[in-house]
Amino acid sequence: MPEFFLAQSSVSPATGWIIVLVLGVLWVALGIFWGRKAKDSEGFMLAGRNVGLSLGSATAMATWVTSNTTMLAPVFALTLGIWGMLAYSTASFGLLLFALFAGRIRTLLPKGVTAGDFFRLRYGRFGWSLFLIITMLYSLSWLVSMAIAGGDLLLALAGIPYLQGMSLILIVCVLYTLFGGLYAVIGTDFLQSVIILLGIVLIGGLVVSQLEFSEAYEHIQTYQPSLLKIAMPAALLAVFNNMLFGFGEVFHNNVWWSRAFAMKKEIAPKAFALAGILWFPIPIAAGFIALAAGPLGINITEANQTGPTVAAAVLGNAGLGAFAGVLILVVLFCSMASSIDSLLAATSDLLIRDVNEGLFKHKVDEKRFRKLAAIVILSVGALTWLLAAPHWPIINALFISGPLVGSLIWPVIAGLFWKRVNRGFVIAGILAGSALGVWAYFTLGWFTASLVGAGVSMVATLLGRFISPGPFPDSTELTSESS
């Protein structure tokens, strides 16, 4: 076995600034260029409802590849072994199932704009308000945790002070979303997804080329045998918990609904299915490198830096030491930007459409739309910055929101595919599922929370199917093609 060394993974602060600024200027320039296509509010929020298969698949896939995927997958592999990687991959099932929903969404709401339209139509004002509270908590904690991860990344890889790095990444994403709306988000997502995929394959390929599988296997079996166990109870629970968390995240969130509305109607199911298929291997391809750490003699001092540490060592050993930090920074920056931009756009749409127009009854005409959209995007960006600046452990809020979004899985399924349901039962199920799921998070363990949230809500929704079910309220406002 060759002798390995831990390469210097970091780039200089100046190089870090240059990389982010060059990519940032590119994204903003493309955002401005593509944003010219947005002639009205529908163009800005939904990219003209005419997005094709390639851009549609790439944007769905790229949005689902976050810094958690590229950074946490190796940690899962390091602590939970083979099942840890597979557990993470099950998050792709959310996209695959959403493919089945996308066609129904477009049929049910041909003029829909946000996920809030669906909840208002199906579950009335109270159910809609409940959805808004849950989705805002989830979206904001996701957004803030991405911004924090961005600041941490630039600090770890380039030595750029946390506040400067976090601000830099956030400003870049706010700017191109501001100028180009969903056109900019979808266009840049395509480029970012190709960079992410190729970067992961390059790093993974180098690891494989330097790894003797039989020796590596023997090493793991000797020193970390639990990682190779097929039946590892905690990991198996994590598989189901992660899958349900992923279902809840995808089924309810406006990030995905806005894409379903943005794609051509016949394309949307295919694009989500393809995105799920393309996403499935990523946590394995990005995660397995952690299993190589021991056999390759790479010392992991911080578990959450497993991915970059192994990648840097392997690239260094391949004679690409100087290139290592740049490649890792570019891949991780792309995986963060592709999620931050989507969350900024989708959350702003919810605030404009559901909160401003829906709750506060402020009708926005086309002339004032872009100004309002700019104010809202800047405000969401500013709020994210304020919450990210103190570097609180916001990632915990994201994990705690698991049972909350898990409790929305069955209400979405019922609202899309059933004709009648007892809406009181459904809403009670969301409340009980959320409360008991959060309780389970703190008392039983994180890997049970989404299971409990989704399970309780499922029971209540199924009861609502059989006990005094009523038809959904008639609304022609969003269901008519001609509206």
Q: Which is nearer to other proteins, 92 or 242 (CB)?
A: 92
| Region at 412 (left for phi over 0; alpha for psi -120 to 50; beta for the rest) | alpha
Count CB-CB contacts under 10 A for residue 40: 11
Within 164-193, which residues bind other proteins (CB under 8 A)? 183, 186, 190, 193
Could you tell me how many residues of this chain bind other proteins (CB under 8 A)? 41
Residue 320 amino acid letter? L
Exposure class string for 95-109: b at 16+ Cβ within 10 A, else e: bbbbbebbbebbebb
Task: Tell me the C-alpha distance between 116 and 122, whole Å.
Answer: 10
User: C-beta of 225: minimal distance to other proteins in Å?
Assistant: 10
What 3 state SS string does 130-146 have?
HHHHHHHHHHHHHHHHH
> Strands, E, within 98-158: which ranges?
none
Site track for other proteins across 204-223, x = CB under 8 A:
xx--x----xx--x------
- Quote the CA–CA distance of 202 and 85 in Å, as a whole number: 19
Burial of 213 (0-12, 13-18, 19+ CB in 10 A): exposed
Q: Which of 18, 26, 33, 48 binds other proteins (CB under 8 A)?
A: 48
Binding mask 223-262 for other proteins (x = CB under 8 A): -----x-x--------------------------------
Q: Residues 134, 140, 285, 451: which binds other proteins (CB under 8 A)? A: 285
Q: Is 282 in the site for other proteins (CB under 8 A)?
A: yes
Of 42-50, 99-107, 239-247, 372-380: span binding other proteins (CB under 8 A): 42-50
Selected range binding other proteins among 122-130, 159-167, 285-293, 457-465, rule: CB under 8 A: 285-293
State in angstroms the smallest separation of the CB of 331 from other proteins: 12
Least separation, in Å, of the C-beta of 480 and other proteins? 25
According to the binding rule CB under 8 A, does residue 290 interact with other proteins? no
Q: Is 53 in the site for other proteins (CB under 8 A)?
A: yes
Tell me: does residue 33 bind other proteins (CB under 8 A).
no
Q: Is 268 in the site for other proteins (CB under 8 A)?
A: no
Task: Answer yes or no: are the C-beta atoms of 248 and 453 closer than 8 Å.
Answer: yes
**Beta strand spans in 436-479 (E):** 470-471
**From candidates 44, 280, 425, 446, binder to other proteins by CB under 8 A:** 280
Q: Both tokens of residue 140? A: 């904001």
Q: Closest distance between other proteins and the C-beta of residue 462, in Å?
A: 36
Question: Count of CB atoms within 10 A of residue 304's CB?
Answer: 16
Structure tokens that stand for 289 in this block: 């490198």
Are 113 and 46 in contact, with CB atoms under 8 Å apart? yes
Both structure tokens of 355: 């909160």
Q: What angle do CA 370, 372, 375 make, to 5 degrees?
A: 110
Cα 337 to Cα 319: distance, rounded to the nearest angstrom: 29
Task: Please state the closest distance from residue 343 (CB atom) to other proteins, in A.
Answer: 21
| Residue with smaller CB distance to other proteins, 54 or 468 | 54
* Interface region with other proteins, contact rule CB under 8 A, candidates 104-112, 152-160, 197-205, 454-462: 197-205
Determine if 360 is a binding residue for other proteins (CB under 8 A): no
Residue 199 Cβ, how far from other proteins at the closest point, in Å?
10
236 vs 17: CA distance, rounded Å:
42
Q: Which residues in this chain contact other proteins in the complex, by CB under 8 A? A: 37, 47-48, 50-55, 57-58, 61, 82, 85, 183, 186, 190, 193-194, 197-198, 200-201, 204-205, 208, 213-214, 217, 228, 230, 274, 277-278, 280-282, 284-285, 288, 291
